[in-house]
Structure 1
């Protein structure tokens, strides 16, 4: 796509350089810490699954017991596989069950015992990573066999009944009506659960629980529909919250194609501890990189709490930070579904022109990323006719600016959970606009110093100013400057200090002898590229 805006390349390079400087101390922090969820994810890769009669996963029991006895500073796998070598149990599942009953002891081995425990851990985790690799190859093969959607953007549609067995026929119907990506929204509040539910679930509220079995069921159903339709249907879920590393791992094990994974969403909108979030996120993004999963970031959420005009530059800053954190973890441009949204108050003069300017700026800053364009929600009033018109204008911006992933807007937003008929009308809206105006990216070029060019340059300039303030900020506690900015309410007007928030007690500083075979395998793969 030809550039639509005349942006100074020096200014763009400066923005990325500042994002790197702001993000690097956070990455350093993430490399020196672990969390209970990271350690549980490694055990899941080693094959530990299932839960007790109260539905508490065995990985939770085992990690909690190890932490109580010897700590997690050296990683969970060393004491766990040392216990298996010493004959405390014949396998991981039995060891976890005995740990839950308090009938097993753990230690930190030394010398040859330490070397043997690490070697056994590596051998046991490798098959899980191999399964993720095979799933990536399977996806590539199915895309080649069935074909990708012919048009861009991909049409992204949400299913959220709470019952996986109701979600499946609705997802298949949506695909038959033209959806390319099916997103299964998680049950309200799951991001705050410090465990991953087990099995197929039917009781979610305003969404369906993210579980390994639910992932498997939906992926199998969409594989059938992909074969029927002759195009590969992608599946999305949410790798966010307190179990981000585990859900990312399960997604890789069950061949999901996209995951919601934003650098600050859980911090700002779920009050999850910032350190916990950044540590969990780095591991989850390493998994996504290995699995070939596209991430979707959540900058659209900032504009539901802050003004979409005044805070437009914070979206750009977050996109630049998300890009830096993603690439540092091994993700490539084609995996960066960076988010932005059509959330300017439609009553403002020139609101559509500003939406165009913001969308063009994002498209040009990240030319090789499949940007995720989000529909209006904040200013949907319940007037379904007005809402349908707004969604049409939103679709038009997507067509004019070459967005990669377009979330289908619903005229019943803020009224009810959409009916199938609502989704059908919404898809008709998308199809009409894309068929009628999909080629406008070739024709539309705003005047050199006109309203749109000027607005885009202004937003980029304000983003650079904010990044400079973040980079040059100092913190008496020694926290990375980005954490200080988050604590001050810079993003989404939410103030989230680094020493507070949910999940802080699950953060552990690594010791010198820390070992994590999953991270070793992930970083070996990355360094071999």
Structure 2
């Protein structure tokens, strides 16, 4: 079969890459389908409406799941014991039951027969209620996108889509983040990401309420999500274009945060198959099990995930390790598809991180970026700016960011994160962000449809480099398929960091499912295609 695309990639090699990625992913998918975690079970309780915390800040979801685990285990899930206890009384709500359980005042059991049938029906109705709320929030987004089209959905269908401009706020105080986020939107940001407080990945609970004391970021809580979403809706109406909101579904509470994001209509969530393992030392098994449920929720909520392959290039060489980025993207794609995510929800990540001192570095960057674009033509790719080689020379940094913006436009990237000339020096000031936005606006407006004219020579440096990276990706996928993905992670294949399967944080929260396991949220998400569910509810399903 003849090669195709600007890079003359062999279609058979591309198909082989996906086949090998599916082979490597299959044992992980099987594990996720036969295990649960404490956070998956708590996510069900949150979808069913359980919120709040005790006076010490410990969430009622944690109290209730822990009480069930201590008395009857989690092998059958929390659904049957919890809704059986509710039906037996005298506690009328999940919050009442959780409070009593925290005081040691509830005796849980695994019901049988007719009692089990009633508990199953009640739990399913409660889970259905939470998923219906997520469906309504998705329908709200669809209406707002139609009323207030952002740059990637222009009012004129003939107009080319522009890359979305993605900007970060991270003061630690949600009430300071809000005016900064609104100011960023007024200056041209299309996506606002609220960076999560340092260390939240390692908390095995979700903090409650609005928070003002984050470190290098703001805590991800349901109330913080609600406040920021309302603030961005306000500025969206002011500007006449929808401004998207991003946060982080990762760490030990990934499933719960995903559920809260769906309930509060976030638009994008950082959700990578290996980031938490490699960079936060979360146990690999815990991460993959939590991730499947979180991605099922994202699929239902219409949330675009952002993956974190860019981080590999901060610890590994961006040239030598380029193929590991592609392999991770292919794995993220496979895990995402299996969990129900559409291509339009796969915000696969990569980065402009080659040492600028290397001869022809810009051509190599173009090769890597164009390769990813052609491998995933329908994915809203997220392109990350240079960080590793920002030296503190703000003038050189500003120039390097302009080259990054140019590469993003030339290769048709979907989401461009704003590069900061003060990267690595201090938390950016508003003036830094303003200059960074000016940089990307200039390049985007001046270069416009340059991607149409960018066609590398078939035998040139760019096309040859891209084909070589693809070939190296195939070789690595073959090895991973033979040895296993958990082994590859343990050997430091990604980001040169070794993480053994039974190491890291959170393994004690992993539970193998027993026969008769019930989580009605998983049952609903497993059996209902998100598009079909929306059509059945009378919601318009965009083409």
TM-score (structure 1 length as normaliser): 0.98
Partner of 1:386: 396
Partner of 2:171: 161
Say whether residues 1:371 and 2:381 are aligned partners.
yes
1:457 maps to which of 467, 490, 497: 467
Q: Is the 8 A contact 2:300 2:530 kept in 1?
A: no
Q: Is the 8 A contact 2:315 2:496 kept in 1?
A: yes
Give 1:62-73 correspondences, 5 Å limit: 62-73=64-75
Partners of 2:292 and 2:164 lie apart in 1 by 27
Say whether residues 1:6 and 2:16 are aligned partners.
no
Q: Is the 8 A contact 2:309 2:349 kept in 1?
A: yes
Unpaired segments ≥5 residues, structure 2: 155-160, 533-543
Partner of 2:286: 276
Say whether residues 1:524 and 2:527 are aligned partners.
yes
Partners of 1:493 and 1:441 lie apart in 2 by 33
Say whether residues 1:504 and 2:507 are aligned partners.
yes
Partners of 2:46 and 2:346 lie apart in 1 by 26
- State the Cα distance separating 1:263 from its structure 2 match: 0.2
Say whether residues 1:222 and 2:232 are aligned partners.
yes
CA shift in 2, pair 1:341/1:527, >3 Å: closer
Partners of 2:183 and 2:236 lie apart in 1 by 12
Partners of 2:90 and 2:465 lie apart in 1 by 66
Say whether residues 1:423 and 2:433 are aligned partners.
yes
Q: Secondary structure at the match of 2:477?
A: helix
Q: Secondary structure at the match of 1:103?
A: coil
Partner of 2:108: 106
Give 1:290-369 correspondences, 5 Å limit: 290-369=300-379
Partner of 1:482: 485
The CA deviation string for residues 350-399 of structure 1, in whole angstroms up to 9 with x for no partner, is 11110000000000000000100000001111111010000000000001
4+ residue segments displaced more than 6 Å? none
Partners of 1:375 and 1:100 lie apart in 2 by 47
Give 1:224-303 correspondences, 5 Å limit: 224-303=234-313
User: Cα RMSD between the aligned structures?
Assistant: 0.9
- State the Cα distance separating 1:106 from its structure 2 match: 0.2
Q: Secondary structure at the match of 1:394?
A: helix
Q: Is the 8 A contact 2:299 2:530 kept in 1?
A: no
TM-score (structure 2 length as normaliser): 0.95
Partner of 2:518: 515
Give 1:124-163 correspondences, 5 Å limit: 124-149=126-151, 150=154, 151-163=161-173
Partners of 2:504 and 2:428 lie apart in 1 by 33
Q: Is the 8 A contact 1:188 1:207 kept in 2?
A: yes
Partners of 1:526 and 1:385 lie apart in 2 by 50
Partners of 1:35 and 1:472 lie apart in 2 by 27
Say whether residues 1:440 and 2:450 are aligned partners.
yes
Partners of 1:488 and 1:524 lie apart in 2 by 36
- State the Cα distance separating 1:437 from its structure 2 match: 1.1
Partners of 1:194 and 1:429 lie apart in 2 by 40
